[in-house]
């Protein structure tokens, strides 16, 4: 019997049946993978809630020159100077300001002669202790200038106490040192620096005087060599001071008729002074603010920066980083008309058949509002993604006699409109804004609340607008 032939064992590959459920879950998996990649690659988007209408004081920043009644004191003899007070200190007539000696060794020799000797009275010791406690309380480890000031204060106090307790004979022991005592000729504030602007009046200044570094500043310190007739120190007569600042014609008109202004200095101090305008030597207009006090706080400054607080506006306060700029078409506002939904406005686009209504983002001036983006009540800005340069729009417009006349206009002229991306519904919608000015915090801007198709109270906007585009879905 013939041997039976064995059948070959055939292994067929497994095929998963393709069904609707398989396709659905495969597509769902691909979708989640794509969305995950998009989220990973996107910058995190931060939102900002604009809140309600607020009021804020705001103007531009100004830089002004500080003028005082100053008198310069010059050295009577050559030598090396040692000061016994600090800049900005108020000193009475006859107080010891400095000594000038021919060798620069006066202080060292006094130390060698009197070191270890009990020359101070109990009241002088208490005075010095109080000075040390005061300087310790005002010491700032982040500002080493306070250490220099404390050293000068204590040094001056010790020297004055020694002079008082020795009845003025302290310096009689220095027969081998030629020195000169420099005392205050009248009561005032001691200042060890000069820049050549002392004694200048407003009419003697020009625009060039306000440039950074236009005047070299000389500041004397201990052990500086001085020549006979060279600058030694100067005296500010009192606490009064003036701030002179250049003004544009627009700024001059804004403050016309004002006789006082309130300003905020860089240190946060708000002060009110009388105001007037004067003409500089080169014909430019300058504002002059006069203050009766607080001059002691700015004794070391010739130039200061400040903001005028007398202009108050109301609006939405939004971050500067949220503002984006976009091109809008400029048209006659007569072409803008309602259509579509009850709240929609737009234009009629001419086609081969009947005109087609296209809803637009529109900005127009309404009434006599000052917060308009454009000049002229007959101008409007429009934008829609379907509108391109060369698109022809049409409308029936009344002429002077009141008869309606069909007119057309070809879109072409464009202008930049500022706005923000509103994200109330989870995607970016461009909302035009009209900025009024910067807030006192210059990273924020005050914008008008009455802009058509603009922002409303409690809208949410994109904080980092440059990192996203219109109609993008927002991932916060």
Please write the tens of the pLDDT for every residue from 276-300: 999 999 999 999 999 999 999 999 9
The model's pLDDT over 221-279, given as tens digits with 9 standing for 90+, comes to: 888 899 999 999 999 999 999 999 999 888 888 888 889 998 989 888 889 999 999 99
CB 435 within 8 A of CB 418: yes
Q: Is pLDDT of 324 > 60?
A: yes
Q: Distance between CA 297 and CA 256 in Å, rounded?
A: 29
Beta-bridge mates of residue 13: none
Cβ atoms within 10 Å of 114's Cβ, excluding its own: 15
Q: Using 50, 70 and 90 to split pLDDT, how confident is the model at 191?
A: very high
Q: Is residue 24 very low, low, confident or very high in pLDDT (cuts 50, 70, 90)?
A: confident
* Residue (of 425, 348, 421) closest to 382 by Cα position: 348
Where is pLDDT greater, at 39 or 469? 469
Element (H, E) at 35: helix 20-41
Q: Which pLDDT tens digit goes with each residue over 102-148? A: 877 777 777 666 666 677 788 888 888 888 888 788 777 776 667 77
b/e 14-42 (16+ beta carbons within 10 angstroms → b): eeeeeeeeeeeeeeeeeeeeeeeeeeeee
Which one is predicted more confidently, 165 or 94? Answer: 94
Provide the CB-side half-sphere exposure for 191 (13 A, CA).
26
- What mean pLDDT do residues 373-394 have? 79
Task: Decide if 312 contacts 439 (C-beta within 8 A).
Answer: no
H or E stretch including 231?
Answer: strand 231-236
- What burial letters (b/e) apply to 307-327, b meaning 16+ CB within 10 Å? bbbebebebbbbbebbbbebe
Q: Quick one: DSSP state of residue 333?
A: G
Q: Which residue has the tokens 């409109």?
A: 417
- The total of other beta-carbon atoms located within 10 Å of residue 127's CB is 17
Beta strand pairing call for 460-462 and 47-49:
antiparallel
Lowest mean pLDDT among 66-80, 130-144, 156-170, 293-307: 156-170
> Quick one: pLDDT band at residue 373, thresholds 50, 70, 90?
very low
Running DSSP on this structure, what letter comes out for residue 439?
A: -
Sequence-separated (6 or more) residues with CB below 8 Å from residue 371: 434, 436, 448, 450, 451
> In the beta sheet, which residues pair with residue 328?
415
Q: What is the spatial distance between Cα 276 and Cα 269, in angstroms, rounded to a whole number?
A: 21
How far is it, in rounded angstroms, from Cα 276 to Cα 245?
Answer: 11
Residue 39: left if φ>0, alpha if ψ -120 to 50, beta else—which one? alpha
Given a cut of 90, is residue 7 above it in pLDDT?
Answer: no
């Amino acid at each position: 019997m013939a041997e039976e032939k064995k059948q070959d064992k055939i292994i067929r590959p497994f095929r998963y049946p393709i069904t609707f459920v398989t396709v659905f879950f495969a597509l769902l998996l691909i979708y989640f993978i794509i969305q995950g990649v998009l989220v990973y690659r996107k910058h995190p988007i931060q939102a900002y809630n604009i809140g309600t209408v607020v009021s804020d004081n705001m103007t531009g920043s100004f830089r002004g020159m500080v003028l005082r009644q100053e008198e310069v004191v010059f050295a009577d003899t050559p030598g090396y100077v040692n000061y016994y007070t600090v800049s900005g200190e108020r000193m009475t007539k006859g107080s010891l300001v400095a000594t000038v000696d021919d060798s620069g060794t006066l202080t060292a020799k006094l130390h060698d002669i009197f070191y270890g000797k009990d020359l101070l009275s109990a009241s002088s010791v208490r005075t010095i202790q109080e000075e040390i406690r005061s300087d310790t309380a005002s010491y700032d480890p982040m500002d080493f200038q306070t250490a220099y000031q404390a050293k000068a204060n204590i040094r001056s106090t010790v020297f004055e106490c020694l002079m008082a307790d020795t009845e003025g004979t302290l310096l009689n022991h220095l027969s081998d040192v030629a020195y000169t005592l420099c005392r205050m000729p009248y009561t005032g504030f001691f200042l060890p620096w000069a820049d050549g602007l002392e004694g200048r009046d407003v009419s003697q200044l020009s625009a060039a005087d306000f440039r950074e570094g236009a005047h070299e500043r000389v500041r004397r310190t201990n052990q500086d060599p001085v020549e006979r007739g060279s600058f030694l120190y100067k005296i500010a007569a009192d606490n009064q001071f003036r701030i002179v600042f250049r003004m544009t014609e627009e700024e001059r008109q804004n403050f016309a008729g004002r006789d006082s202004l309130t300003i905020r200095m860089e240190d946060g101090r708000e002060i009110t002074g009388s105001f007037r305008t004067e003409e500089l030597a080169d014909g430019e207009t300058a504002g002059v603010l006069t203050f009766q006090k607080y001059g002691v706080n700015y004794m070391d400054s010739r130039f200061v920066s400040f903001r005028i607080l007398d202009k108050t506006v109301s609006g939405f306060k939004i971050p500067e980083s949220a503002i984006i700029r976009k091109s809008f078409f400029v048209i006659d506002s007569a072409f803008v008309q309602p259509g579509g939904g009850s709240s929609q406005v737009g234009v009629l686009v001419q086609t081969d058949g009947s005109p087609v209504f296209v809803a637009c983002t529109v900005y127009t001036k309404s009434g006599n509002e000052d917060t308009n983006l454009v000049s002229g009540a007959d101008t409007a800005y429009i934008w829609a993604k379907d509108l391109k340069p060369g698109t022809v729009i049409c409308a029936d417009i009344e002429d002077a006699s009141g008869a309606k006349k069909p007119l057309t206009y070809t879109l072409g002229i464009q202008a930049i409109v500022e706005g923000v991306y509103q994200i109330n519904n989870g995607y970016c919608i461009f909302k035009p804004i009209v900025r009024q000015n910067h807030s006192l915090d210059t990273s924020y801007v005050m914008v008008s609340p009455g802009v058509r198709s603009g922002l409303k109270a409690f809208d949410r906007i994109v904080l980092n607008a440059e990192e996203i585009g219109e109609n993008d879905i927002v991932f916060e």
